[in-house]
Amino acid sequence: MNMANSHENKIQNLQGNHACALGAIAAGCRFFAGYPITPSSEIAERMALELPKVEGTFIQMEDEIASMGAVVGASIGGVKAMTATSGPGFSLKQENLGYAAATEVPCVIINVMRGGPSTGMPTRPAQGDIMQARWGTHGDHPIIVLTPCSVREIYELTIHAFNLSESLRVPVLVLIDEVIGHLIETIDLSLTGTQALAERRWASGPPKDFKPYAMTEDGIPPMPRPGDGYRTHTTGLHHSESGFPTQNPAEVERFIKRILGKLELHRERIENFETLECEDAECLVVAYGITARAAKRAVKQARAEGIKAGLFRPVTLWPFPEEAFRALAAGAASVLVPEMNTGQLILEIERHCPDATRVVPLNRFDGEPIAPVQILKKIKEQVSHD
Amino acid sequence: MKEFEIRFSGSGGQGLILVTRILATALVEKGMKIAQSQSYEPTSRGGLSRSDLVASMETVDYPLASSLDYLLILDEVAVEVSGEVIGEGCLVLADSDRVSSKPEGKYSLYTLPLVSTADKLGSRRVANLVALGALAGLGSFCDQDALEMATRFHAPKGFLDLNLDALRAGYELSIEAPRIA
């Protein structure tokens, strides 16, 4: 019998967290270190089942600090590596996440958001880590944050996260809310397409000329593959092209400008967003994750009633696709930002809206998702206001 | 098949999420697409637990329940939570021994001795399958053959017969179920 959930069948009822693990395997991830935490544990569980089949390594570490350290170490060792966690665990991973950003070690971090602060509500959804995702670790640092809104998109974006991380040498975070992480949807994995896999640029040429943090034109220095004979040095201290610590002001400035500048240089590749009925929208809704699914329904219902509403869904949360958003926001009278927090992404939205555009929050932080009817009601209020 | 929304609700440990997965598997075999979500408390036993299924011939756009067509209440603790999302004309099935109050809303209510039927079969743990058989019998949203196939797929091997007996017992119960309101 070929049932929907059998492993061989391409049409599956698949949970978001499991899709994440399968996406990671498809992307070539061969190392996972983690510490179980609701609502992300199914990712670790599935990785523990899948990695041995592809001769990969799964390790449950003593805590989240160590697991992030193990991921960085494995990646320096030349393997595509990932960890998964939730709120309190994500807080613990911040130090080594900063280390990965400063040493430009590719790695993928999955954060399935729960209610916070602190241990908060382990099994209930929230979108409270939007700013932590960007600024959780100290200092100016590069990071890319992707945010899926369906099981299928979790699979695709996990692959994309590895591609971006490996090719740009930057940590990539996939930010998922509990609803989407635990959601089971029928997906046809044969339709997910075969995304080309990006591989790391490895050092080549004479070892004596090798500079591990060379100032390349595209901002991305090739990495030394262990065993290839290149001498290297890896430190969280500010370093020169040689990899050794420096406090020379010119070298430090050049280093910081390069690691931040590579995201600007490759912005076009990184930025991703979805629009629905935005062209003539008077009320533009900006939403992500499960809230975007609710917003999509609300916008469709509004349109059916003749109300000019539209949806802008950032798939790349950071760096925020600001240019595309600005162009759409310029034509809207109001921008509505529903979020399962007390107002986080709205701060970024306000920054990019013209003064004449009214920016309106819709917040829920009681552990329940925002319903389509709540968004529709708020859209109607805006339109009658204008 | 028509698009519909169904919720299995009760107390943590009653197997509500599993029984929703069984139904999901059966529906997908029938060519439908589903979205299943759940809400539970951090404890492994007790507390409110519910699992929702939105089933459609197309990919489900909004995956959470907003207007239920079918609702199971297997424990008193789950009576209040669904008030807001019970759709008009919803078919509500409640356990006759374990549920004493009623949710708000306009719906058809049936009560059956689901948990005690499971007890008679030998294990309270299959009350979820009794409930699935009974609700499917009353609602006709999925035929028994597909449910049995899906049960064979999901049930632990040593307990397959017990689970199938429970599913069939539930269906039998539904045939003569009196409508309460």
In chain B, how many domains are there? Answer: 1
Give a yes or no: residue B180 inside a domain.
no
pLDDT digits (tens, 9 = 90+) for A303-342: 999 999 999 999 999 999 999 999 999 999 999 999 999 9
pLDDT 10s digits, A67-104: 999 999 999 999 999 999 999 999 999 999 999 999 99
pLDDT of residue B163: 97
Which structural domain range is residue B121 located in? 4-175
Give the whole-number percent of chain A exceeding pLDDT 90.
Answer: 94
pLDDT at A189: 80
With CB atoms and an 8 Å threshold, state whether A4 touches B36.
no
Q: Is B55 on the interface with A (CB under 8 A)?
A: no
Residue B54 located in a structural domain: yes
CB contact under 8 A, A3 and B41: no
What pLDDT, on the 0 to 100 scale, is given for residue A193? Answer: 64
* Non-local CB neighbours of A250 within 8 Å, separated by 6+ positions: none
Domains of chain A: 11-191 (3.40.50.970), 208-268 (no CATH), 273-385 (3.40.50.920)
Q: Cβ(A76)–Cβ(A50) under 8 Å?
A: no
Mutate to test the interface with B, among A13, A114, A301 (most CBs of B within 10 A): A13
Contacts of A373 (CB under 8 A, 6+ apart): A298, B66
Which tokens is A376 given? 């529709």
Q: What distance in Å separates the CA atoms of residue A151 and residue A256, rounded to the nearest whole number?
A: 36
pLDDT above 70 coverage of chain A, percent: 96
Tell me the chain A residues in contact with residue B28 when contact means C-beta distances shorter than 8 Å. 4, 11, 13, 186
Q: What is the mean pLDDT of each run of 10 residues along chain B (181 residues)?
A: 91 96 96 94 85 95 96 96 93 96 93 98 97 97 96 94 98 88 71
Across the interface, whether the CB atoms of B29 and A294 are under 8 A apart is answered no
Q: Is residue B106 included in any domain, yes or no?
A: yes
CA of B26 to nearest chain A CA: how many angstroms apart?
A: 8
Asked if residue B10 belongs to a domain, the reply is yes
**pLDDT one-digit tens code per residue, A250-267:** 999 999 999 999 999 999
Q: Is the per-residue pLDDT at A5 higher than 70? A: no
User: Which residues does chain A have within 8 Å of residue B41's beta carbon, measured at their own beta carbons?
Assistant: 123
**pLDDT over 60 (residue A2):** no
pLDDT, residue B139, reads 96
Q: Which CATH number covers residue B112?
A: 3.40.920.10
Measured CA to CA, the distance from residue A41 to residue A32 in angstroms comes to: 12
CA-nearest of A198, A194, A196, A202 to A162 is A198
Query: Which of B34, B64, B148 is the best substitution to test chain A (most A C-beta atoms within 10 A)?
Result: B64
- Portion 137-176 of B in contact with A at CB < 8 A: 149-150, 152-154
| Gap from B78 CA to chain A (nearest CA, Å) | 16
Position of tokens 């991973």? Answer: A93
pLDDT digits (tens, 9 = 90+) for A198-245: 999 999 999 999 999 999 999 999 999 999 999 999 999 999 999 999
In a domain, residue B120? The reply is: yes
State whether residue B31 sits within 8 Å of chain A by CB.
no
Query: What does pTM read for this prediction?
Result: 0.95
Scored b (16 or more CB within 10 A) or e, A108-138 reads: bbbbbbbbbeeebbbbbbbbbbbebbbebbe
ipTM of the complex: 0.94
